[in-house]
Amino acid sequence: MNVSDSGVPVPPQLSWRKRYKAWRQNASKQCFSRLLASPRGCQLIKSYRVLSHPVQFVRRKQLATQIAASAAPIRVPREKGYTLLDARTLPGFDRIRDLSLQLFAERHDQLDKIQAEYQAINQKKFMVNLLYDEDLKTHPEWIEFALNEPLLNAVSLYFGQVPVLRRIALILSINNGEEHPASSQLFHQDGEDFQQLKLFVNLQDVQLPHGPFSFLPADVTERALARYRADHASPPENFRYPDDALMSYCQPGELVQATGPEGQALLVDTSRCMHYGSRLQPGHARFVLMIQFLCYHNLTDTKFSQIDPTLFANDPKRHLAVTPRTFPKKSYYVNPFTA
Ligand SMILES: O=C(O)CCC(=O)C(=O)O
């Protein structure tokens, strides 16, 4: 680095080419976040993505249409945006439950280390993920289960196209002694797209003190939000809604809570259904499996699992499900014990 007359280091002059590249990147970032701030802007991004990858759009729709012609045991009604199911009926569940409990036994007494690593990624003090990208490679059963036929068909039918498997996580929620709910403990909708589906499977009995995943069905969310907008000039900070701000527009019975024994599962559109979770009472923990599906042309990306895109070369539907539009260049969920 050069040094000025007064001895202060002067950064080297960038070439005009590099400066132009940096300016262009900055401008497109700003333009993108402006577009994301309005529904019309989001539609524009979506159309751009579809036009940039039309073959993926057509292929995924075609395959989903073929599924619709055959019987599908699980259906997520569009109006409600969720369905409850028994994960024990899904192929491969017993093996996944055993693997999950094994990882729990091996890792849960090292929570301090896991918590520090998880907070660095997600800034959440009240939950950790016990499943790492490395585990998905060592045990292909995770991906096999996440893409089991009835589940993949259900998600494809709901989206009207074959989805992308974005994340598999073993979520352990813990009570961190904080008195006030924060972050995803407050009512919110997930912003990766206009729609998405997450499967939550209870791996231990979950009751109210364990802070179950709790949500308003899509039609109730729509109604409550319309009333909220009529009464308020702008949304709350970070789009996190206090309970009373929404529940005053709903009946208490309209809140659905994912309580139930091991194997009880919920397939829910967390973009359309206002939700929160992990409000644990002291001395309680909650252990659930979470599998996230997005459309290929989704709007934004959060941190996702690194899943081998060469898998299922002879199975068109499953192969599309492991083919994301953007592939993570680095692993977000690295095992802190082997790293
Ligand atoms: O169950 C929870 O803790 C809530 C998780 C959540 O908000 C989400 O996965 O989108």
175 lines ligand 1 (CB under 6 A): no
Structure tokens that stand for 249 in this block: 């527009």
Atom of ligand 1 nearest to the CA of 288: 1
Residue 5 to residue 11: CA distance in whole angstroms: 14
The pLDDT > 70 percentage for the chain reads 93
pLDDT attached to residue 169: 97
Would you call 3 helix, strand, or coil by DSSP? strand
156 lines ligand 1 (CB under 6 A): no
Lowest mean pLDDT: which of 138-147, 170-179, 327-336? 327-336
| Cα angle: 35, vertex 168, 119; to 5 degrees | 70
User: Which one of 167, 201, 276, 289 would you pick to mutate in the ligand 1 pocket, going by the greatest count of ligand atoms within 8 A of its CB?
Assistant: 276
Are 190 and 298 within 8 A, CB to CB?
no
Confidence at 114, pLDDT banded by 50, 70, 90: confident
CA atoms within 13 A on the CB side of 336: 17
Concatenate the DSSP letters of all residues of 70-106 into one string.
S--S----TTTTEEEEEGGGSTTHHHHHHHHHHHHHH
Residue 279 has pLDDT above 90, yes or no: yes
Ligand 1: residue whose CA is nearest its atom 2:
277
pLDDT attached to residue 215: 98
Average pLDDT, integer, range 92-102: 97
Amino acid in position 110: Q
Average pLDDT, integer, range 216-225: 98
Average pLDDT, integer, range 128-140: 94
Average pLDDT, integer, range 6-18: 75
Give, rounded to a whole angstrom, the gap between the first and last alpha carbons of the chain. Answer: 34
Residue 71 has pLDDT above 90, yes or no: no
Atom of ligand 1 nearest to the CA of 213: 1
Ligand 1 centroid – CA 184 distance (Å) = 6
Ligand 1 centroid – CA 73 distance (Å) = 26
Atom of ligand 1 nearest to the CA of 278: 3
Residue 116 to residue 130: CA distance in whole angstroms: 13
Residues 42-53: tens digit of each pLDDT: 999 999 999 999
Q: From residue 4, how far is each of 9, 10, 15, 51 by CA, in Å?
A: 6, 6, 19, 50
Ligand 1: residue whose CA is nearest its atom 7:
184
Lowest mean pLDDT: which of 67-71, 87-91, 194-198? 67-71
Residue 167 to residue 154: CA distance in whole angstroms: 17
Domain ranges of the chain: 53-321
pLDDT attached to residue 16: 87
Atom of ligand 1 nearest to the CA of 126: 3
Residue 22 to residue 16: CA distance in whole angstroms: 10
Dihedral sign for Cα 172, 178, 183, 188, please: positive
Ligand 1: residue whose CA is nearest its atom 3:
277
277 lines ligand 1 (CB under 6 A): yes
215 lines ligand 1 (CB under 6 A): no
278 lines ligand 1 (CB under 6 A): yes
Residues 229-245: tens digit of each pLDDT: 999 999 999 999 999 99
Element housing 42 (H / E): helix 39-52
Q: In what order do the strands lie in the sheet with 264-268?
A: 82-86, 264-268, 197-202, 285-294, 164-174, 127-129
Which CATH superfamily, name and number, covers 53-321? q2cbj1_9rhob like domain (2.60.120.620)
Residues 23-37: tens digit of each pLDDT: 998 998 898 889 998
Residue 3 has pLDDT above 70, yes or no: no
202 lines ligand 1 (CB under 6 A): no
213 lines ligand 1 (CB under 6 A): yes
Confidence at 10, pLDDT banded by 50, 70, 90: low
Concatenate the DSSP letters of all residues of 44-76 into one string.
HHHHHHHHHSHHHHHHHHHHHHHHHHS--S---
Q: What's the whole-number average pLDDT of the chain?
A: 91
